[in-house]
Amino acid sequence: MNFEELKSRIEEGLRELSAEISGKEPNVININVSRDKIVEVAKKLKALGFDHVKAVTAIDYPNERFEVVYIASSYSNLDLAFFLINLRTDLPYNDPTTPSLIEVWPSAFYQEHEEHDLMGIVFEGHPRMGERLLLPESYEGLPPLRKEFKIKTEGINA
Amino acid sequence: MSVDKTIRHVKALATGIKYLVSSKRMTLMYPDEIEEFPDGYRGMIKYNWDTCIKCGLCAMVCPADAMKMYISKEESEEGKKPVRRPGINYARCVFCGFCVAICPTNSLKFTKVHDVVYNTLEEQVYPPEKFREGVPKPQYKKKPKKMRAILDEERGLRYEPVE
Amino acid sequence: MSLEERELEVLIGPQHPASGHMRMIAKIDGDIVVELRPNIGYVHRSVEKLAEAKKFLQIIPLVERPSLADTTANNLAYVMALEKLLGLEAPPRAQYLRTLLAEINRIHSHLYGLGIHGVMIGSSTAYMWCFGDREPFIELAQELTGARLSYSYIIPGGVRRELPSRFTEKVEKALRYMENRMKDYFNLYLNNPVTRARLEGVGVLSKEDAIRLGVAGPNLRASGVPYDVRKVEPYAAYPDIDFDIITEKVGDAFARVMVRVKEIQESIRIIRQVLKKMPEGPILHEKYIKAISPKMREYMKETGEVKFPGIFANLRIPAGEAISRVEGGRGEVIFHIISDGKMSPYRMRMVTPSFRNVILFEHLNRGVRVADIPAIYGSLDYFPPEADR
Amino acid sequence: MQDLLSFLISLLFRPCIFIPLIFPGLTVIFIMLLMIIWLERKIAAKVQLRYGPLYVFKPLGGVIQTVADLLKDLFQEPIIPKTVDKIAFLLTPIMLFGLAYLPTVVIPVSPTFYAFRSDLSLLLLLTLTTLAPIFTVLMGWASNNKFSLIGGLREGYLVISYEIPMFLSALSMAVLYGSLDLVDIAEAQKGIWGLFLNPVAGISMLVLIYMSTGKFPFEIPEAESEIVAGAYTEYSGIMYGLVMGASYVKLYVLSLVYAILFLGGWNPLPASMMDNPLLPGAMLFAKAFILIAIGVFLRAVYPRFRIDQAMNIGWKMALPFSILAIFISLGIVTITGGM
């Protein structure tokens, strides 16, 4: 399967879900959706054969938005395994909640939990929201991956 | 107990006995013997005071903030303006060798020294004046035998004394 | 008696001979594990955040640190992402050298995993043998790169060292040694009826579950999914190399061990081909060679040691986004880098195979016996610092 | 002066003093312990391509290492956790070691040299060896630690699965020789050793000895990678030394019994050498020591079984085999009309 073919097939599959689809050669397909459609889009993608999530990246654009990127691909169909689907959704800065996709992709379980822990995104429907994963239980304060959380740098002079 | 299992038990025991009676060993008897490292080993770094052009690239590329630019006192007083030279903090150094690789005049060079003991954290900081004196000599209670690791088809690694 | 009273909660780790830097909270009923929850994060070092404060080249040693036994995979994946953003490719010889180091690293990473697994089920001999036999390969890598484990060998546009003299010969000796030793590994450990009894049929991961849970690396292939990044999205010199993807059908602990053992044998094959086919040529992209002063270029030719051009100190990466993946010893490493054209990444996501395999602790340790916990743990080749990053 | 010395020596060679204090009693136990722990580490090291203990007295390959370890243990602070049951916690190591040592009194050294002779000495000996595991279970409970508890329970489960077949195997020899007296049994093997007469009993008893003393592949009650150190988890210093030593002492005692039951005891020494206990004693000790050495060698070869697998071996393999062994003995007795 080549890139264009897959892109058009995805476009066809997601026609009614008002998803913005753009491609980046040779193997990345970006799908932008709003958060209320994301579960449906994920289900469609799973039906197309993208059966697992490789990574969940949350990106902080201060005072503007959060972006959550699910990088999905396929294990069961090795033709599709070459392609990486980036399912993206933007979240408003003051309300970083999005439905969890663990029902569709259980492989996102720990990834979502980590982004919750370190970036403060709330994945609705995830059973471990509010629990710590990597940070100590007693940690309070800003989620460390936020841009507001500054770390000290020393510079080159002693 | 099947025959196959019995055979496999016997084979395992026989292999154990084979190694019990053989005299192969992999150990390098550190610290009585120490390994002489191959060329290009990324050990502690020596500094050439004279060829250094004080460009600061080494401090800029250092991933661990170990290499820093220190004010070189004498030179600064002489020239009436601050002159900065690199110094290293071995408490932080990760021995990646980026500073050596980026130095445009080869003023930083690797040595093969790596096993040095310090009593305090402060001792591990080498400002330029100390840095130029070279790397400390490892101190041994008894002079160790220097051994070279030789790859061997029979034994994997074999250590041979270096003359 | 009610069910709650029957259950005993056992905290395995973080101070336990076989827990590693993590805690497993096990609820057991008699000798049966009812539920096990991994509690990770004890060695979290926040690589993703630190990367945002460091310059691109400085991140190379940083990404290596989480998985010290398998540094090349992280190093390579990170640099590949940078190269995608820079729009350049390393010259062929550099690609071959990268492959060479990656495969040497895979062998000693697998031996590390097998050894730890050995001592977890009680075979101290398997542990000592594996750790001893890692040594020739570490010695080889040390000769090539100058360091035992934290190689930092791969840089944007190439690699840092030329092949040392008589290296091929030395590699061949180590490979032959390993091939011979494998027989004794089988006799004493892998075919030992006690080992078999402990591993066969324990912690079975079905193909469907492996796919559903997004498992990575040998653990995935042991369940019968022939997924290997080296074939799916070939990088470095892998397109030119002939090798097989190792899979097993059963998906139990023994299958996972066997995948690793066979991959060592496959790596031996790859290394032989790499050394045979190694092309001549530069080992750094010419764009960077040009940026190096003529005197230093001369020095590079003489010693085979690559000097960095001055621009490396403050390397700027064009704005954009790149995802790279590499098949490391433990599985697929993924880097997702978002650059805004400055000297540090805007966001760097690093997903390691161990982190993706954490989910297996919960999944596989249901209804097994207490003694199976270490047997399953070890078979996953799980490395806590790698998962915590 | 001379008289006093010779009197003391003759006193020492009185069976009721020699046996409990010298051989097979305390002195030899102590030397054996130091030797066997060193040997265990050395054998494992050799198979694993290492040196093992070496630096404490290098000319003899570090044989004094265990003494150094013992001294270290002696001077280590004995930590008694607040939450333990103090009396049980402190008492069990002593009971464990004492009960492991006690059966040595019953063991004869030569046909004429014994501290204690009874028609039922084999039974008495076996009974005494079964007492120790009870204290391991108690130890697991007294430590108030989950790993200790699991370790103690594991020991409990194992005891019932190895004890019965081990008794049956041992008793099959009693059937064969028509006596429960260890001296009689050893004397009956002047010609053929018991192992060759009834190999089924011999092999199953040997495996069960290693199982009962926690040698690999049956090192289940103290499986380090699973339950830290089992019942011994909370112990430190000399108390740990005692409990660790106890399992070796048990191995030593059972090896001696095995040597008497299956390897002919002090045979094939001629009767003229039997007057002095030293030579037959050395013979007996050598046989037992080989068995111990094999036991510790297994560590280098095997991983450990899971508890259910070990219990399977006890119930489904060793038990039928030991019953078979009894029938073999009965068969031999019927055919030959008694040994």
pLDDT tens readout for residues D29-87: 888 888 888 888 989 998 988 888 888 888 888 888 888 888 888 888 888 888 888 88
Best of A59, A104, A114, A116 to disrupt the C interface (most C CBs within 10 Å) is A114
Chain C residue with minimum CA distance to A26: C233
> Which pLDDT value is given to residue A43?
87
Alpha helix stretches (DSSP H) within C186-313: 193-199, 207-212, 218-221, 229-232, 253-277, 286-290, 294-303
Domain boundaries, chain C: 3-388
Task: Give the gap in angstroms from C-alpha B77 to the nearest C-alpha of chain D.
Answer: 56
Answer yes or no: are the C-beta atoms of D147 and D227 closer than 8 Å. yes
Q: Which helix (H) or strand (E) holds A12?
A: helix A3-13
Task: Give the gap in angstroms from C-alpha C17 to the nearest C-alpha of chain D.
Answer: 6
CA distances (Å), B57 to each of A19, B52, B110, in order? 47, 11, 17
Reduce the DSSP state of residue C178 to 3 states and report it. helix
Q: What confidence tens digit (pLDDT) does each residue in C307-354 have? A: 888 888 888 888 888 999 999 889 899 999 999 888 889 999 999 999
A69 touches chain C (CB under 8 A): yes
Task: Give the gap in angstroms from C-alpha C384 to the nearest C-alpha of chain A.
Answer: 11
Range of the domain at D257: 81-336
| Amino acid in position D50 | R
Supply C383's token pair: 């490395």
**Burial classification of residue D286, based on how many CB atoms lie within 10 Å of its CB (0-12 exposed, 13-18 middle, 19 or more buried):** exposed
> Which pLDDT value is given to residue C20?
82
> Which pLDDT value is given to residue D263?
85
Q: Which CATH superfamily is domain C3-388 in?
A: Cytochrome-c3 Hydrogenase, chain B (1.10.645.10)
Is the pTM here over 0.80, yes or no? yes
Q: What percent of chain A has pLDDT over 70?
A: 100
Residue C64 has pLDDT above 60, yes or no: yes
Q: Which residues contact D101 (CB under 8 A, 6 or more apart)?
A: D25, D26, D29, D249, D253
Tell whether D199 is covered by a domain: yes
Residue B36 has pLDDT above 80, yes or no: yes
- C305 DSSP 8-state letter: B
Q: Which residues of D touch B26 (CB under 8 A)?
A: 49-50
Task: Give the gap in angstroms from C-alpha B102 to the nearest C-alpha of chain C.
Answer: 4
User: How sure is the predictor about D338, in pLDDT bands with cuts at 50, 70 and 90?
Assistant: low
Chain B residue with minimum CA distance to A153: B65
User: Minimal CA–CA distance to D161: which of D130, D123, D198?
Assistant: D130
CA D301 – CA B15 distance, rounded (Å): 8
CATH of domain B24-163: 3.30.70.3270
Nearest to D47 among B1, B19, B26 (CB): B19
> Which pLDDT value is given to residue C335?
92
Based on C-alpha coordinates, what's the Rg of chain D?
20
> Which pLDDT value is given to residue C2?
57
Task: Give the gap in angstroms from C-alpha B17 to the nearest C-alpha of chain A.
Answer: 45
The better pLDDT of the pair C72, D184 is held by C72
Supply C124's token pair: 């101290």
Q: What percent of chain B has pLDDT over 70?
A: 99
> Which pLDDT value is given to residue A37?
85
User: C188–B12: do the CB atoms touch at under 8 Å?
Assistant: yes
Mean pLDDT value across residues A75-88: 87
Q: What backbone torsions phi and psi does residue D239 show, to the nearest 5 degrees?
A: -65, -40
> Which pLDDT value is given to residue A130?
84
D308 touches chain C (CB under 8 A): yes
CA B119 – CA D63 distance, rounded (Å): 34
Answer yes or no: are the C-beta atoms of C350 and C76 closer than 8 Å. no
Q: Which residues of C touch B41 (CB under 8 A)?
A: 142, 146-147
Domains of chain A, start order: 3-124 (3.30.460.80)
User: How sure is the predictor about C72, in pLDDT bands with cuts at 50, 70 and 90?
Assistant: very high
Answer yes or no: are the C-beta atoms of D139 and D243 closer than 8 Å. yes
Q: Can chain B be said to touch chain C, i.e. do they have 3 or more Cβ pairs within 8 angstroms?
A: yes
The mean predicted confidence, pLDDT, of chain D is 85
Q: Which helix (H) or strand (E) holds B108?
A: strand B108-110
Which of residues 105 through 164 in chain C touch B, CB cutoff 8 A? 125, 132-133, 135-136, 139-140, 142-143, 145-147, 150, 152, 160-161, 164
Residue D287 has pLDDT above 60, yes or no: yes
Alpha helix stretches (DSSP H) within chain D: 2-12, 15-21, 26-47, 65-75, 86-101, 121-142, 146-177, 182-187, 194-197, 199-212, 224-227, 237-262, 278-297, 307-312, 319-336
> Which pLDDT value is given to residue C165?
83
Best of D41, D47, D207, D304 to disrupt the B interface (most B CBs within 10 Å) is D47
| Amino acid in position D221 | P
User: D50–B12: do the CB atoms touch at under 8 Å?
Assistant: no
Domain count across chain D: 1
Q: What percent of chain D has pLDDT over 70?
A: 98
User: How sure is the predictor about A2, in pLDDT bands with cuts at 50, 70 and 90?
Assistant: confident
Q: Which residues of C touch B37 (CB under 8 A)?
A: 142
A contact set with B (CB within 8 A): 154, 156-158
Which of residues 35 through 94 in chain B touch C, CB cutoff 8 A? 37-42, 55, 57, 60-64, 94
Answer yes or no: are the C-beta atoms of C77 and C333 closer than 8 Å. yes
DSSP code string of A81-128: GG-EEEEEEEEETT--EEE--TTT-GGGHHHHHHHHHHH--EEET-TT
Tell whether D308 is covered by a domain: yes
Which of residues 174 through 193 in chain C touch B, CB cutoff 8 A? 174, 176-178, 180-181, 184, 187-189, 191-193
**Backbone angle region of B156, left / alpha / beta, with phi > 0 → left and psi within -120 to 50 → alpha:** left
Residue C112 has pLDDT above 90, yes or no: yes
Q: Can chain D be said to touch chain C, i.e. do they have 3 or more Cβ pairs within 8 angstroms?
A: yes
Residue B1 has pLDDT above 70, yes or no: no
> Which pLDDT value is given to residue B22?
84
Mean pLDDT value across residues D209-223: 85
Q: Please, what is the Cα angle at C87 between C82 and C92, to 5 degrees?
A: 90
Q: Which residues of B touch A156 (CB under 8 A)?
A: 56, 59-60, 62, 68-69
Residue D191 has pLDDT above 80, yes or no: no
Mean pLDDT value across residues B28-46: 86
Helix, strand, coil percent content, chain C, rounded in steps of 5? 55, 15, 35
CA dihedral D321, D322, D327, D331 (to 10 degrees): 90
Answer yes or no: are the C-beta atoms of D306 and C198 closer than 8 Å. yes
Q: How many CA atoms lie within 13 A of C305 on its CB side?
A: 19
Q: What percent of chain C has pLDDT over 70?
A: 99
Which of residues 112 through 141 in chain B touch A, CB cutoff 8 A? 127
Tell whether D5 is covered by a domain: no
Based on C-alpha coordinates, what's the Rg of chain C?
22
Answer yes or no: are the C-beta atoms of C174 and C104 closer than 8 Å. no
Supply B90's token pair: 């071995």
Q: Is the dihedral of CA C334, C339, C343, C349 positive or negative?
A: negative
User: Minimal CA–CA distance to C283: which of C117, C188, C153?
Assistant: C153
User: How sure is the predictor about D230, in pLDDT bands with cuts at 50, 70 and 90?
Assistant: confident
The better pLDDT of the pair B77, B1 is held by B77
> Which pLDDT value is given to residue C3?
53
Which of residues 334 through 373 in chain C touch D, CB cutoff 8 A? 369-373
Nearest to B20 among D43, D51, D317 (CB): D43
Supply C322's token pair: 């790149």
Which of residues 70 through 109 in chain B touch A, CB cutoff 8 A? 70-71, 84, 87
Most distant CA pair in chain C: distance in Å?
83
Domain boundaries, chain B: 24-163
Q: What confidence tens digit (pLDDT) does each residue in D140-175 have? A: 888 888 888 888 888 888 888 888 898 888 888 888
Task: Give the gap in angstroms from C-alpha A148 to the nearest C-alpha of chain C.
Answer: 11
Tell whether D172 is covered by a domain: yes
Mean pLDDT value across residues D7-20: 77
Q: What confidence tens digit (pLDDT) does each residue in C253-275 have? A: 999 999 999 999 999 999 999 99
> Which pLDDT value is given to residue B3?
84
